[in-house]
């Protein structure tokens, strides 16, 4: 996975998470609530054989939250250098505009969305979301 992110550390597996985020592509702020499934918890707590270090184990304890234009959200667990493992939340809800409950008024673009740096060239001619979501 590429991109920037924020590292959040905790001692227990997550039950739920609310994410406030901006999409500069469709020029909207979003609020997404994710309730993680038992399957996700089980995968995070299970020890897996480490193919890179025989005799050792590793845990899928790194979560990736993908945020895409149109309010599309996906969750993956890192898989020790192998392809990430797509997760299926028990419940997921994305709101925008006046429907937002927690994230209303929280944006990094209070004066409107403006593209800076390499962004205009990067998005030119692309349709979103792109790739295999």
Confidence of residue 76 (pLDDT cuts 50, 70, 90): very high
- CA dist 90 and 67 (Å) reads 18
Residue boundaries of the structural domains of the chain: 16-123
Digit-coded pLDDT (tens) for 88-124: 999 999 999 999 999 998 887 877 888 889 988 888 8
Cis amide linkage into residue 129, ω under 30° from 0: yes
Average pLDDT (48-76) is: 93
Confidence of residue 12 (pLDDT cuts 50, 70, 90): confident
Mean per-residue pLDDT of the chain: 87
């Amino acid at each position: 996975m590429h991109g920037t992110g924020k590292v959040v550390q905790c001692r227990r597996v997550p039950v739920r998470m609310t994410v406030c985020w901006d999409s500069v592509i469709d020029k909207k702020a979003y609020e997404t609530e994710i309730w993680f499934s038992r399957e996700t918890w089980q995968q995070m707590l299970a020890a897996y054989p480490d193919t890179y270090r025989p005799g050792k184990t590793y845990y899928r304890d790194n979560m990736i939250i993908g945020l895409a234009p149109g309010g599309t959200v996906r969750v993956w667990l890192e898989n020790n250098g192998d392809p990430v493992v797509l997760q299926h939340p028990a419940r997921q809800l994305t709101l925008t505009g006046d429907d937002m409950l927690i994230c209303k008024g929280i944006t990094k673009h209070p004066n409107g969305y403006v593209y800076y740096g390499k962004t205009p060239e990067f998005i030119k001619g692309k349709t979103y979301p792109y790739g295999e979501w």
